[in-house]
Structure 1
Amino acid sequence: MPASRPPCEDDRAVAVPAPRRADPVAGDGEPRHRPAGRSGYIDALRALAILRVYLLHTLWVTWLPMVFPAMPVMFALAGYLTAASLERRKPLRVVGSRLRRLLPPLWALTVVAVPLMLARGWGNDPDGGPSVLDLAWWVVPLANPQSSEWGGPFSLGLWYIRAYLWLVLLSPALWWVFRRWPVGALLALPAATVVLYSPLVHVPPTPVGDVIWSSAAYGTCWLIGYARHTGLLDRIPLAAYTLLVAAVGFGALAWLAEQGEADRLGRLAWGWTAVLVLMRARPRLDWLARVRWLSWLIAAINARAVTIYVWHLPVLFAAGALLSAAGVPAGKVATFGAGTVLLAAVVLAIGWIEDLAARRRPALLPPG
């Protein structure tokens, strides 16, 4: 597969499996292609995040993460939907349901990626082949799945699956703490993130360090999702909320201006700003019902969210390789076109796994 600039962690988003019911308190309209009880606003945000990450990794439009920091938004959406489930069902059932929706689409990638990497010499790597743990993380990604040099595109985007998995496992404990000390919990995680980033604490670049950092940094977004579900954000006076958002946003921009636009903490704080805005908003999207193709597309993307996410990077690299083999310059537009066709083919071929994971009747076309 051809080499390309690997996307940094803060540039990526992940699609989170759609729940059976969502956003029971929002007053959204219900488009024709969305099941009753589902929020048009939440589904549209998730679909927009998936589209944004695909466009970023295809066209490399570097300003997209600042316009719409999709990854923090997706963590917040996941936290919001998880809170809604935790309030209705037992914690073990909620965790089991989330894992059931997350892992089978990953396993579909695993059964293709691992044999291909082994066939391409991963086991004979002069630096050592994969260990048992390396292979285990492809089944249950408690750590970032490792790959061969050739198979890098298969694993580049899976850091988020790991981060999301840990937050799902921690979600009952986070919910227990949040229900008792909501303001303290909301302040504790961003404070911990800043401390972890500072010279006061050294977080080693190890699998354990990755889990600690991501659980604090993106757990902040997760808890803001909790705050949306419980109505805590709505109870803050609008003037005070506006000042809070402005303080976080201007602080993030000032930090980025000082440290550079690639600074991890500055980009994360900017993501928190977007999350605070979007999780407070409750727009009506009745107009979606009048645009049938768009409401179907949003519902279809949500129904195939994990498949699209885990496959889009290897598909884009494969599209570049095919274009080069055909003698066609693998420019951004050509890669976007070929990659979109290939990704659609992959979704049609194996996307039905998400139907089984969601206990729906498997279908070739995503249900809308």
Structure 2
Amino acid sequence: MGESTLPPPPEQRKRPPARDRYFDLLRAIALFRVVLYHLTGWAWLPVVFPSMGVMFALAGNLMARSLKRPPLQVVRSRLRRLLPPLWLLGAIGVTGMVLQGWSPNDDGHPGWWWIHLGFWILPLSDPPYAEGLPGIHGILGEGWGGELAGPLWYIRAYLWYVLLSPFLLKALRALPWTTILAPIALSAAFEFGYLNLPGERIPSALTDFSTFGACWILGMAHQEGVLKRLPRYVVPSLAPGVAGLGLWYALTHGFKQGHDLDDIPFAQSLWSFATVLLLLHVSPSWTEWPRWLRPFDRLVTLLNSRAVTIYLWHNICILIAATLWDQLWQFDVMYLHFSWLLESSWPVLAITWMFIGSCIVWFGWVEDIAAKRKPRIWPDGSVPKSRKSRPRARRA
């Protein structure tokens, strides 16, 4: 008999391509670093691993791979995957802010208030939110509206990158390195005063593009094979110099706790560009997970399957975890004997990830609906027992 035409077993069908495993690992590390940074505020964390640059580069790589299909179809697919999780966050968050007294009169322009709410539906600019909300005593800290809206700049920037990607890809194919370096040149123009724009919304969007646009385009360039055409010694020779320039600029412009790379966009653009360039240059071809990474397979799969949900909800999870942990100061035994523990960030980090896990369960299914998949509660790649026990068909 000829070779069997039966499909491979489920565990083989779900196995991602070798290079995707490396990218999945980078995305998982980036997510964990984002949560840790937003909890601790340690200025050195974005230097050790520039998560946002890495995440934009991985998204750009995926976008370039998808653009083998018609651009309009790809853009529509990306938006469909991105927006429903935001809509769920907005439905819950905006409702909560309104119930706590947020109203059109808060900004003095009721008509504009209603129009700006549309950015919760299509975030071409920053959605509005209430500042100074009282919170819920002992559970949710004050000013939670700002924490809720904090991560939305990433969604806005991601949306613009998606919309611009068909044009960026054409430019990349025509003028590769001019296109890659153009965002850094734009960042320099902002930094050194050669370009000044009025208002807040447009300059804010352009600043994000200039800071991380080179990373997004680098991801596209990697997919297009642009980086492979360079001699192997070029990237290891040049990237450390670019990174050093970015770090030097940060150190000479007030880099410290509370004033890190996020507050120095030009330094951020250089450091993120150089780091992403090195990570893409390494890009190992793993036919399977290295032995030391195999225990993390399911965790990495889960983080990648729910990346949008984790990013959107992690700030609120941090705020709730910190508020609950602070209640322990009210107990004399904790205050007198365990103040060192109450001041530590690590217990709050553990509680934060517990709440993030609950958000994955309660809200993560929206990502499956958006991707037109069957909703899953805990998509860590494990095979259900019913499938494991099902006998495989023999070869003919």
TM-score range, shorter chain: 0.7 to 0.9
**Corresponding residue of 1:94:** 74
Q: Is the 8 A contact 2:246 2:267 kept in 1?
A: yes
2:43 counterpart of 1:67? no
Shift of 1:280: 1.5
2:268 counterpart of 1:267? yes
2:279 counterpart of 1:283? no
Kindly provide the CA deviation profile for residues 190-230 of structure 1, in whole angstroms up to 9, marking residues without a partner as x.
21221122112113451111122222322211111111011
Shift of 1:51: 0.8
Gap change, CA 1:338 and 1:330, over 3 Å in 2 = farther
Kindly provide the CA deviation profile for residues 58-88 of structure 1, in whole angstroms up to 9, marking residues without a partner as x.
23333111010010111111111100111x2
Q: Is the 8 A contact 1:144 1:159 kept in 2?
A: yes
Q: 1 CA distance for matches of 2:54 and 2:97? A: 33
**Corresponding residue of 2:8:** none
Q: Is the 8 A contact 1:33 1:292 kept in 2?
A: no
Q: 2 CA distance for matches of 1:321 and 1:310? A: 19
Q: Is the 8 A contact 1:351 1:364 kept in 2?
A: yes
Q: 1 CA distance for matches of 2:327 and 2:319? A: 12
TM-score by length of 2: 0.79
Q: Is the 8 A contact 2:309 2:360 kept in 1?
A: yes
Q: Which amino acid aligns with 1:303?
A: S
Q: Is the 8 A contact 2:184 2:269 kept in 1?
A: no
Gap change, CA 1:282 and 1:220, over 3 Å in 2 = same
1:311 to 313, 330, 334: 313
Q: Which amino acid aligns with 2:316?
A: P
1:199 to 193, 205, 208: 193
Q: 2 CA distance for matches of 1:310 and 1:92? A: 26
Shift of 1:310: 0.2
Shift of 1:341: 1.4
Alignment length, in residue pairs?
337
Q: Is the 8 A contact 2:310 2:356 kept in 1?
A: yes
CA RMSD of aligned residues (A): 2.2
Q: 2 CA distance for matches of 1:345 and 1:238? A: 45
2:29 to 21, 41, 48: 48
Give unpaired runs (5+ residues) of structure 1: 1-30
**Corresponding residue of 2:237:** 243
2:91 counterpart of 1:78? no
**SS at structure 1 position matched to 2:17:** coil
**SS at structure 1 position matched to 2:298:** helix
Q: 2 CA distance for matches of 1:34 and 1:277? A: 29
Q: 1 CA distance for matches of 2:173 and 2:344? A: 51
Q: Is the 8 A contact 1:33 1:296 kept in 2?
A: no
2:98 counterpart of 1:118? yes
Shift of 1:33: 9.4
**Corresponding residue of 1:8:** none
Q: 2 CA distance for matches of 1:199 and 1:70? A: 27
TM-score by length of 1: 0.85
- With 309-318 and 234-243 compared, the bigger mean Cα shift is at 234-243
**Corresponding residue of 1:362:** 375
Gap change, CA 1:268 and 1:181, over 3 Å in 2 = closer
1:182 to 155, 176, 185: 176
- With 203-212 and 342-351 compared, the bigger mean Cα shift is at 203-212
Q: 1 CA distance for matches of 2:16 and 2:265? A: 39
Q: 2 CA distance for matches of 1:32 and 1:73? A: 28
Shift of 1:156: 0.8
2:347 counterpart of 1:344? no
Q: Is the 8 A contact 1:308 1:347 kept in 2?
A: yes
- With 280-289 and 241-250 compared, the bigger mean Cα shift is at 280-289
Q: Which amino acid aligns with 1:278?
A: L
2:107 counterpart of 1:105? no
2:325 to 307, 323, 326: 323
Q: 2 CA distance for matches of 1:108 and 1:53? A: 21
**SS at structure 1 position matched to 2:375:** coil
**Corresponding residue of 1:146:** 128
Q: 1 CA distance for matches of 2:104 and 2:60? A: 42
Identity %: 36
Shift of 1:112: 0.6
Gap change, CA 1:269 and 1:322, over 3 Å in 2 = same
Give unpaired runs (5+ residues) of structure 2: 1-10, 134-144, 332-341, 382-396
